[in-house]
A = this chain, B = another copy of it.
Amino acid sequence: MPYVTVKMLEGRTEDQKRALVEKVTDAVSETTGAPTEKVVVFIEDMKKSDYGTNGKLYSDQ
């Protein structure tokens, strides 16, 4: 039942995403008690020109 969204800069490989889904699901299951088959993970890739901190686009930093 827990729904997890991971938003991060684009560029991670499919292998990294595969490991991310596996490890995050385990972490959520262990700490909340939800069975792993109830844990849903969404990944959202951000472009460097769609993300800014301190008033500056990441693509300009």
Contact = CB atoms under 8 A, between A and B. Distances in A.
A61 B22 CA distance: 13
| Contact count band on A | 35 or more
Candidate in A1, A45, A50, A52 with the most chain B CB atoms within 10 angstroms? A52
Contacts of A8: 1-3, 32, 34
Contact of A57 (B18, B28, B33, B36): B18
A25 to B, nearest CB: 4
Given A17-B49, A39-B55, A42-B51, 12 more contacts: A3-B3, A5-B5, A17-B50, A23-B31, A24-B28, A25-B55, A27-B27, A40-B52, A42-B46, A43-B49, A43-B52, A45-B50
